[in-house]
Structure 1
Amino acid sequence: MGTTTPYIDLVGIPSGQVTLSDRRTERSWTVDLAPFRLGALPVTQEQYAQLTGERPSTARGSDRLPVETVSWQDAVVFCNSLSQHEELTPVYGFDGQGEVVVAEPSANGYRLPTEAEWEYACRAGTDGPRYGPLDDIAWYRGNSGERPHEPGGRLPNPWGLHDMLGNVWEWCWDLYDPEVYGTYRVLRGGGWFDEHWSCRASVRRRSHPTFRVDDVGFRVARSMTG
């Protein structure tokens, strides 16, 4: 088990509104958002190992690569552990069957961003499919050499967030479509192996909360209550 509390740079995100859409159902919905904080970068292998003592990632060569091959459940446990190390109130709890539930929505600890928070932060006030030219802002199949890269090597969005598109897909808190997909959770952002059309602010992907693969990671958020 890790014993070191990793430093994670959080960026303050202002309140606002975002409209999300789903191409499969042709549905759109608008969400009002309170201010929150979001990691400037996805969580790295070094940060994950410092806290958990584990190195699940497939990619090797640098501790500063984004952690991947982590499930949604792994990400939730990381958030709670980081909260406890910093003596903050954990956001998540578990029921009698071991299923994750929200223990305290107003808690000041670390959590996954909601899908609406993620897209709003990714867009950073822009209204196009991306916040800049793809080759300048993202590692994707066209320029990645089919491998992940250290976060921060591409230009940030206008709010100072790096790698919101490309490099690794990122888990969000939300259920994707519980009536059709049950417990599947939302993934956002596109990854190092994806074609350009998957690396857009609006693209939604889904997977089971225990799913692990080498192009999926996460970044952490905190509510402004803390």
Structure 2
Amino acid sequence: MRIIGLTGGIACGKSTISLTLKSLGATIIDGDQLSRALTQPGGLALPAIRAEFGSEVFHADGTLDRRALGSLIFASDERRHALDDLMQPLLREMIEREILRAKEGGAKICVLDMPLLYEAGLDGLCNTVWCASLPRETQLARLMARDGFTREEAENRLRSQMDTAEKARRANIVIPTDGTIEETAALIPPLYAAELAKEGSHGKHTASQTK
């Protein structure tokens, strides 16, 4: 089984790539979904989050107030690193279990869809890394339009992650996502076929769009 690490900055179109890979038959491990499971009611991360950040990041019913927590961590590198330190070991354990499950289930291609792939040190689990890439100004515009953020809020989100250009520099395959959804999706089948044939290059390639 080959493992593709799929990463990219927030609002860079990574979801389009992931959905296309799923439609082609890949098994998807969604890092965001697993992170949410850790912080849902009864989630393994909640006691540590309460101990670190206090009751002000929880609603009266005991559920996590994601907006309140986000306001704290995106305004402070120290608080964000504290959250990462308590979440990442739990998340890695879940991901390793999901990879094993995919392998035992006979998957040929497993995709680790993880925005913070490099930040969490999970690229070492992958045979190859693909990065969705956008110019920074386009990324900011998409993020503000998608989530209703002010420019300052959007820039804080971008600063909380490794720069997309650095992720692209480290990746094996860089996928430009500044076109339409259809144009981005059209780039994926030949790349997927190459992985199926175990012909992925060890070097770096930039996928090109066909207008």
Q: Same fold (TM over 0.5)?
A: no
Normalization by structure 1: what TM-score? Answer: 0.28
Query: Which of the pair has the greater relative contact order for Cα pairs under 8 Å at 6+ separation?
Result: 2
Normalization by structure 2: what TM-score? Answer: 0.29
Please identify which structure carries the higher strand content.
1
Bigger-Rg structure (1/2): 2
